[in-house]
Amino acid sequence: MINPNQTIGFITGGQLGQMMIQSFLPFRQNEKIYILDENEDCPCRPYSNKVFIGSSKNFEDVLSFGKQCDTIILEFEHVNVEALKALENMGKKVFCQSKYIAIIQNKGKQKKFYTENNIPTSPYRTIRNKNEFILLAQENKISFPLMQKTFHDGYDGGGVTKIHSLTEIETKAFDTESILEDCINITREFSLICGRDQLGNEFQYPLIEQFFHEKTHIVDCITSHCEIDSDIESQIESIKTKILSAFTGAGLWAIELFLDTNGTVLVNEIAPRVHNSGHQSIEGNYCSQFEQYMRIALGYSIGNTAEIKPSITWNLLGEENFIGPVYYNGIEEVMKQKNVSLHLYGKKTTKPHRKMGHCTVTGDTLEECWKTIHTLKNTIKVIAQ
């Protein structure tokens, strides 16, 4: 039976948690909502009963927070795994489960998981530090350019750098455990959001296409569906089947995919949670990815993933050169647009490329949505006061 009086704990309290709670409000009963975050003023705060100050990476902080909750929901994968395991052993429900988090939060383990499960991904090798990187280059054992991705703590383009030469290793490379990935000639990037509820029902959303900023590697726009040929569709179907049969528990997975110039689909990475590529599902689909995750975590059956209307999301990132209390310049213009939904995450301060909000445009066709997106890009700007 689903307990209407339970305490739901979110680790941490950012925008993903905020949108999960927003989607939950229409079917919330008497559940309490607790948040663990380092920042009292985090985006989840207005929707919570209490914010506990602490670090998601600290064993004691996660454990003592989790003990006060019945269901624990992660909205960020950099969480202390040992504490999550201890909580699971006490009978707490944790989403995503610690055994999957342990693989996903470490890029080295994630890559090994793909190889072991015969899931296509770009060729790579691992290094322990910068010295090893330099030696490999001096001995001509690697070819440039390549992508260095740190094992730990990378997100939103952080912990990732493109290295073109030995000199760049010396000046730009991270001096920590990392993977070195061959650079792929990418033509398109997709995201497949899929998963399973606690009753064993599986679901997937229409295939999403992602468009990235060249410089920051952060998602700029996302379309609610895309056209692909049947060969690509069957490659993606096979990847999904392999992932869902390796991850047998309940959960929601956002699988980031590359299509290379040879027509091969490769897995870039998996997020064990709601994802930036699914924001348009709030307006565009019957059941958003956020509501879906809440249904899964609480033990309800899954909702309808079908599109209501084509939609495109545009991320609102902090402008370059602005750090400080946030100001949304041009907000009135956005509000004049029909079929545009504005989501501001309530972060108090902006910094370059920080995700501060997003706009979703709905329309009869994606072409129509793109026209509005192009207009929007000349209106609102996230700057500091």
Contact footprint for ligand AIR (CB under 6 A) = 12, 14-17, 75-76, 155-156, 276, 354-355
- Pairing between β-strand 93-95 and β-strand 124-127 as defined by DSSP bridges: unpaired
Q: Closest Cα partner for 308 from 206, 233, 183?
A: 206
Phi/psi for 201 (5° steps) reads -75, 135
CB of 162 to ligand AIR, least distance (A): 20
Instruction: CB nearer to ligand AIR: give 196 or 347.
Output: 347
Instruction: CB nearer to ligand AIR: give 93 or 354.
Output: 354
Instruction: CB nearer to ligand AIR: give 108 or 318.
Output: 318
Measured CA distances, 174 to 161, 169, 323, 338 (Å): 8, 8, 25, 45
Instruction: CB nearer to ligand AIR: give 163 or 252.
Output: 252
Distance between alpha carbon 189 and the CA centroid of its chain, in Å? 14
User: Do residues 224 and 311 touch, judged by C-beta distance below 8 A?
Assistant: yes
Instruction: CB nearer to ligand AIR: give 105 or 148.
Output: 105
Measured CA distances, 358 to 239, 277, 311, 317, 342 (Å): 29, 11, 13, 8, 6
CB of 290 to ligand AIR, least distance (A): 11
Q: Which residue is nearest to ligand AIR (CB)?
A: 14
User: Do residues 197 and 295 touch, judged by C-beta distance below 8 A?
Assistant: yes
Q: Which long-range contacts (CB under 8 A, 24 or more apart) does 122-128 make?
A: 122/181, 122/182, 122/184, 122/258, 122/266, 122/268, 123/181, 123/182, 124/179, 124/180, 124/181, 124/182, 125/179, 125/180, 126/151, 126/177, 126/178, 126/179, 126/180, 127/177, 127/178, 127/179, 127/180, 128/177
The C-alpha atoms of residue 201 and residue 383 are separated, in whole angstroms, by 44
Instruction: CB nearer to ligand AIR: give 133 or 253.
Output: 253
3-state secondary structure of 334: helix
CB of 164 to ligand AIR, least distance (A): 27
Instruction: CB nearer to ligand AIR: give 343 or 355.
Output: 355
Instruction: CB nearer to ligand AIR: give 38 or 333.
Output: 38
CB of 39 to ligand AIR, least distance (A): 8
3-state secondary structure of 65: helix
* CA-atom Rg of the chain in angstroms: 21
Instruction: CB nearer to ligand AIR: give 12 or 23.
Output: 12
Instruction: CB nearer to ligand AIR: give 14 or 195.
Output: 14
In the block, tokens 């329309």 appear at 363
CB of 102 to ligand AIR, least distance (A): 17
Q: What angle do CA 44, 80, 2 make, to 5 degrees?
A: 55
The C-alpha atoms of residue 378 and residue 385 are separated, in whole angstroms, by 19
Work out the angle between the directed axes of helices 59-67 and 81-89 (0-180°, nearest 10). Answer: 30
Q: Within 13 Å and on the Cβ side, how many CA atoms surround 2?
A: 17
CB of 14 to ligand AIR, least distance (A): 2
